A and B are shown apart, each in its own frame.
Chain A
Amino acid sequence: MNKIWILARKELSSFFDSLVAYIIVILFIGIAGLFTWWLGNDIFLSRKATMDSFFAITPWILFFFIPAMTMRTFAEENNTGTIELLLTKAITDWQVIWGKFVACLILILITFAFTLPFYISIWWLGNIDHGAVWAGYLGLFLMSAAYISMGLFTSSVTNNQIVAFLLALIAGIFFHFIFGLLAGSFSGTTGEVLNFLSFTSHLQSMGGGVIDTRDLLFFISLTLLGLVLTESALAKRNVSD
């Protein structure tokens, strides 16, 4: 646990040193704020104290930002050879993966924390459904965890950050768009399975304020799958043909 935290702290400080963290936080608040207060369903016009437009736009922002955040994690270490330095210290492969995962997740939490003023202002303006807001945040958090673990995996298979970014984006396109779109054109089991794989359907059900175990299990198992794949990519160095 301690080793995970040492690495996570180092990763976080390199996010802040390289300005990545500031850019992500500022752009995120800017875009989310723009859509929440003005461009989306303008809450002053609709006169409804909800954060629906915030929860509608945030997954799309994360769709771009998370790959940008994770692309560096392993690809740069693979490129410069520091991965060898790291893995020959008294730290296990899993501790390295968890360390990087935790660092990305903390950065996401920091970003979300900056959107709390939106919540507080709307609360102040009217009668907000607190349950729906917190369930919505939980949904975003779980989705981010799943998407981060995919990003770690795509970063671990290459030594090129651009490739890592694009691969994560491709995975994102499937979970954000394609599964949802295809689900509409299939009926029966295929449609249900595709719908179950879509991030959007799970986020919508959680945004309504309903926390369903199936949604939790979906995101958690996707996260674990991503981390296991990352571990197998790291362990590949041990396999000889």
Chain B
Amino acid sequence: MEISVQNLTKVYGPQTAVDGISFEVKKGEIMGFLGPNGAGKTTTMKMITGYMAPTSGDVLIDGVSMREKSDQIMKKIGYLPENNPLYLDMPVLKYLRFIAELQGISKRSVNDQIKKMINLCGLNNEKHKKIAELSKGYRQRVGLAQAMIGDPEVLLLDEPTSGLDPNQIIEIRNLIKQLGSEKTVMLSTHILSEVEATCDRILIINKGTLVADGTPASLRQQSQVNEVLQVRIEESDEQVKVKLALEELETVLKITDLPGRKGGFKIESKSGDSSKKEVFNLCVKNKWILTEMIPLETSLEDVFRELTV
């Protein structure tokens, strides 16, 4: 199934929370939805799930508008809402059964589905407890289990790993990745390393408008203009001489010392040029010992800050 968001807009009173955004998520794709607080992520998610009607624009899932809220589409969507709301007075098993029945899972497969989710989300020891008695991490697992029950073709997860311990985060990431190959997944998060680890595509939203759309690698490239190298040359006596020689290289734009690291420099090349060869050749010529040469990539954090601050 394919999610197609067309010119989606939501206006609350004087405030435009989401301002005409359009994108598509294809089957087999895991889309990471990023943005600072209040950027409109959750509002967008709520409109995609059909909980809220957009002021204008539309969301189509497999060509069917979410304004119609048809049962056929709704039961193919697994949704983990923001803050993971749960019926705290229900025991885990009873709760999952309730959700499975609401989603119209056939009587024959309800038990199998519940068993599968209990195993998948590691809830076996907690399954008879009331949800109110569970810790935050276990509640999060219950939230994920209810979203994934019945193998929905579309998964919409609002901060899926919040409250989980590091081991669990890795498990859930792997699970999402594994599911993502056959489903359409969209997840929102604040954790940038998570997006890097799980998502094929990133969407960044700021103040209600889309500011970036692409793979993690392509976004990093886009925001980086010049090549930056971190090098270290083991010539303790001739630091100044080395620096001068480096500055004279044709391709080099700027050199800065790396504070606290003897013989370390940060070399920014001129636009479009690469200094790797030149630095290496210079060292060979002078018989300097080059112990480090690392191309510095812009991190997603840098991209995120650049686009949203």
The answer to whether B83 touches A81 (Cβ under 8 A) is yes
Contact of A14 with B53 at beta-carbon distance under 8 Å, contacts A6-B102, A7-B102, A84-B46 already known: no
- CB-nearest residue of chain B to A14: B89
A84-128: contact bitstring with B at CB < 8 Å (1 yes, 0 no)? 111111111000000000000000000000000000000000000
Residue from A85, A88, A237 in contact with B74 in the complex, judged by beta carbons closer than 8 Å: A88
The answer to whether A240 touches B89 (Cβ under 8 A) is no
Interface size (A, Cβ < 8 Å)? 24
Q: How far is the CB of A103 from chain B (nearest CB, A)?
A: 13
Contact of A87 with B103 at beta-carbon distance under 8 Å, contacts A10-B98, A82-B86 already known: no
A220-241: contact bitstring with B at CB < 8 Å (1 yes, 0 no)? 0000000000000000011011
Label chain A's interface by main secondary structure. helix
Q: How far is the CB of A194 from chain B (nearest CB, A)?
A: 39
Q: How far is the CB of A233 from chain B (nearest CB, A)?
A: 15
Contact of A88 with B77 at beta-carbon distance under 8 Å, contacts A80-B85, A237-B52, A238-B53 already known: yes
The answer to whether B103 touches A88 (Cβ under 8 A) is no
Q: A14: which B residues are within 8 A, CB to CB?
A: 87, 89-90
The answer to whether B85 touches A84 (Cβ under 8 A) is yes
Residues 62-90 of A contacting B (Cβ, < 8 Å): 80-82, 84-90
The answer to whether B81 touches A88 (Cβ under 8 A) is yes
- 6 CB-based A-B contacts, threshold 8 Å: A85-B79, A88-B50, A89-B74, A92-B71, A240-B12, A241-B11
Q: Which residues does A use to contact B, with CB under 8 Å?
A: 3, 6-7, 10, 13-14, 17-18, 80-82, 84-92, 237-238, 240-241
- Closest 10 pairs (CB-CB, A-B): A81-B85, A238-B53, A90-B75, A90-B74, A82-B85, A89-B102, A88-B49, A90-B71, A241-B13, A6-B101
Q: Which residues does B use to contact A, with CB under 8 Å?
A: 10-13, 46, 49-53, 55, 69, 71, 74-75, 77, 79, 81-83, 85-90, 94, 98-99, 101-104, 146
